Amino acid sequence: MKTTTIHRLLEKGSRYDLMFNSAKATDNGNKISIQGKSIEDSAFLYECLYEYLYENDIPFKVATWNRFALINTNKEQSHKAMTIYCIDGFDFNQLCEDIYSMTLDYKGWSDIKTPTSYNHYAGGLFTRNDRNENGVYIPAK
């Protein structure tokens, strides 16, 4: 999808995020959040990563204008430009390294503090596992 197309979809999105590859099952809880401030950040990340994510059938979501509209409310979740879910059987550390290496030029995260319940991996990547030892979802604080 070209930048203008994804940008238009993000502008018109009525939800907080557009979900991609969502049919792929994942219940291990490992995910990467890449922080940002605008749909330009979301579109940039989509363009950097979509080929890799589609080739590996990895589910992800990209923030629309609705999510970024919450930034002035000081809600941490308003800065999630992209969320990537590690599929079962995929090495999470390798996924983080791959994503990081493809987003080295991304600067949209630079003055956003680490979200609660997340660990800073590198660059704009923040990680967390949203499942407990019984596989029950743990919401972000």
DSSP assignment of 36-104: -SSHHHHHHHHHHHHHHHHHTT--EEEE-HHHHTTGGGT-GGGGEEEEEEPPTTS-HHHHHHHHHHH-T
Who has greater pLDDT, 16 or 22?
16
pLDDT tens profile 39-95: 999 999 999 999 999 999 999 999 988 888 776 666 767 788 999 999 988 999 999
| pLDDT at 141 (0 to 100) | 65
Do the Cβ atoms of 61 and 34 come closer than 8 Å? no
- Judge whether residue 2 has pLDDT over 60: no
Q: Is residue 135 part of a domain?
A: no
Band of residue 3 on the pLDDT scale cut at 50, 70, 90: low
Q: Is residue 137 part of a domain?
A: no
**Residue 129: closest CA among 138, 121, 120, 36:** 138
Q: Is residue 95 part of a domain?
A: yes
- Judge whether residue 140 has pLDDT over 80: no
Residue 70 neighbours by CB distance under 10 Å: 15
Q: Is residue 140 part of a domain?
A: no
Angle at 96 between CA 67 and CA 113, to 5 degrees: 45
Identity of residue 57: D
Q: Tell me the average pLDDT across 21-30.
A: 78
Q: Is residue 34 part of a domain?
A: yes
| pLDDT at 56 (0 to 100) | 94
| pLDDT at 94 (0 to 100) | 97
Q: Is residue 47 part of a domain?
A: yes
Q: Is residue 9 part of a domain?
A: yes
% of the chain exceeding 70 in pLDDT: 91
**Residue 92: closest CA among 140, 32, 25:** 32
Q: Is residue 8 part of a domain?
A: yes
Domain region containing 11: 3-129
Q: Tell me the average pLDDT across 1-20.
A: 80
End-to-end CA distance of the chain: 34
Give the strand pairing for 125-129 and 80-85. Answer: unpaired
Do the Cβ atoms of 128 and 33 come closer than 8 Å? yes
- Judge whether residue 129 has pLDDT over 70: yes
| pLDDT at 122 (0 to 100) | 93
- Return the CATH number at 28: 3.30.2430.10
Domain count, the chain: 1
